[in-house]
């Protein structure tokens, strides 16, 4: 079993179910990720003060890492929090989910949060106050942190600090880690296209993207996009929502169908897909089986509001992983 280290924004998600009109009035493009100030965050919280909300720990890479530990893997997470109640909540939740917390603490900034607007069709739009999470810099990352880990996973949102993300990935490679990158959001790709392309070509082994992100990166349809990405890294994954996902390694591409399910909230679907995929990869499964495990995790999380699956659902996914593992031991070339 391979050990996974994640790095990302340590954010607590505030989940709000809103109407299409609410979203238009706020001025955020549907499906986008928007950075906001503390003042904007306070205004949004005031506006929706009487709307039912739910608070859970989040952040893209953190969700992925938690998925790995929930499936029985070993993983740790690097992030930065404030010296406050939200930061304590975040640390305790990682521990509760079996994640080793490698958390830095900001001296003067509050812990970050991500306000997630969920429209009736299940689409999510993010308004993110980074807070302490944005206070992490290149000098905070030391080579010792990567010792003992086999896979390093980082979220594209960390591109807010080019020096930080490049140093972290470079140190991971120097430590012998396989590097996994989630492209995060189409507007992140649009705004950092050249930098991300150079990063992927030089360092990255696995790229995760959804249809919009892959189009922003390649300007091609999903099948052509996954093929192009696979020429720049070892394993490319392009997720296409209800149509499943495309996974390619070398010249071999496979399509994995989605689970038929009612979509309540797509928050975290891509993160859990990546977590299931990386856990299965660490178990020695083929990329197709990795994609299938990722698809199962993603398919279950869209049925609920938020990213926290019930223990019964995790048990179901663990049983499927165990069946795959049993087949792998008996027929090592067929799975």
* pLDDT tens-digit map of 221-277: 999 999 999 999 999 999 999 999 999 999 999 999 988 677 777 778 999 999 999
pLDDT digits (tens, 9 = 90+) for 299-312: 888 877 667 788 88
> What's the Cα-to-Cα distance from 213 to each of 77, 109, 270, 324, rounded to whole Å?
24, 31, 12, 30
User: Which pTM value belongs to this model?
Assistant: 0.86
Mean pLDDT of 38-67: 88
Angle at 105 between CA 182 and CA 128, to 5 degrees: 45
Q: Would you state the structure tokens that stand for residue 208, as one six-digit string?
A: 């995760």
Percent of the chain at pLDDT > 70 equals 96
Band of pLDDT at residue 330, cut at 50, 70 and 90: low
Q: Is domain 3-10+60-108+134-330 given the CATH code 3.30.470.20 in the classification? A: no
- Quick one: what percent of the chain has pLDDT higher than 90? 69
Looking at residue 316, its pLDDT comes to 87
What is the model's pLDDT at position 328? 65
Q: What is the mean pLDDT of the chain?
A: 91
Per DSSP, the three-state class of 188 is: helix
92 versus 49: the higher-pLDDT residue is 92
Q: Which two tokens stand for residue 305?
A: 């509001």
**Look-up of token digits 């909300």:** 53
Query: By the 8 A CB rule, do 320 and 296 touch?
Result: yes
Any idea where the domains of the chain sit in the sequence?
3-10+60-108+134-330
Q: Where are the beta strands (DSSP E) in the chain?
A: 3-7, 11-17, 33-35, 53-58, 74-81, 100-105, 112-118, 124-129, 151-155, 178-182, 206-210, 235-239, 245-249, 252-256
> What local confidence, expressed as pLDDT, does residue 53 receive?
81
């Amino acid at each position: 079993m391979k050990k996974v280290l994640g790095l990302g924004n340590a954010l607590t998600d505030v989940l709000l179910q809103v109407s299409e009109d609410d979203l238009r009035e706020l001025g955020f493009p549907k499906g986008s990720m928007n950075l906001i100030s503390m003042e904007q965050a306070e205004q949004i919280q005031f506006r929706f003060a009487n709307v039912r909300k739910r608070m859970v720990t989040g952040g893209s890479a953190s969700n992925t890492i938690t998925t790995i530990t929930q499936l029985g893997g070993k993983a740790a997470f690097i992030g930065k929090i404030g010296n406050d109640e939200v930061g304590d909540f975040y640390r305790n939740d990682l521990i509760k989910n079996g994640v080793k917390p490698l958390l830095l603490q900001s001296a003067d900034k509050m812990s970050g949060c991500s306000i997630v607007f969920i429209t009736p069709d299940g689409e999510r739009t993010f308004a993110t106050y980074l807070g302490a999470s944005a206070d992490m810099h290149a000098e905070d990352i030391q080579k010792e942190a990567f010792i003992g880990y086999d896979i390093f996973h980082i979220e594209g949102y960390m591109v807010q600090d080019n020096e930080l993300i490049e140093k972290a990935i470079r140190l991971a490679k120097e430590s012998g880690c396989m590097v996994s990158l989630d492209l995060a959001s189409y507007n992140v790709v649009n705004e950092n296209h050249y930098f991300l392309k150079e990063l992927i070509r030089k360092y990255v082994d696995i790229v995760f993207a959804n249809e919009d992100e892959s189009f922003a990166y390649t300007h091609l349809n999903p099948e052509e996009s996954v093929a192009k990405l696979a020429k720049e890294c070892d394993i490319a994954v392009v997720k296409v929502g209800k149509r499943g996902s495309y996974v390619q390694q070398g010249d071999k591409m496979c399509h994995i169908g989605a689970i038929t399910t009612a979509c309540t909230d797509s928050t975290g679907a891509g993160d859990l897909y990546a977590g299931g995929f990386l856990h299965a990869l660490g178990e020695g499964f083929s990329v197709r089986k990795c994609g299938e495990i990722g698809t199962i995790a993603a398919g279950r999380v869209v049925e609920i509001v938020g990213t926290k699956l019930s223990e019964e659902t995790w048990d179901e996914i663990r049983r499927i992983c165990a069946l795959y593992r049993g087949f792998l031991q008996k027929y090592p070339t067929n799975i």
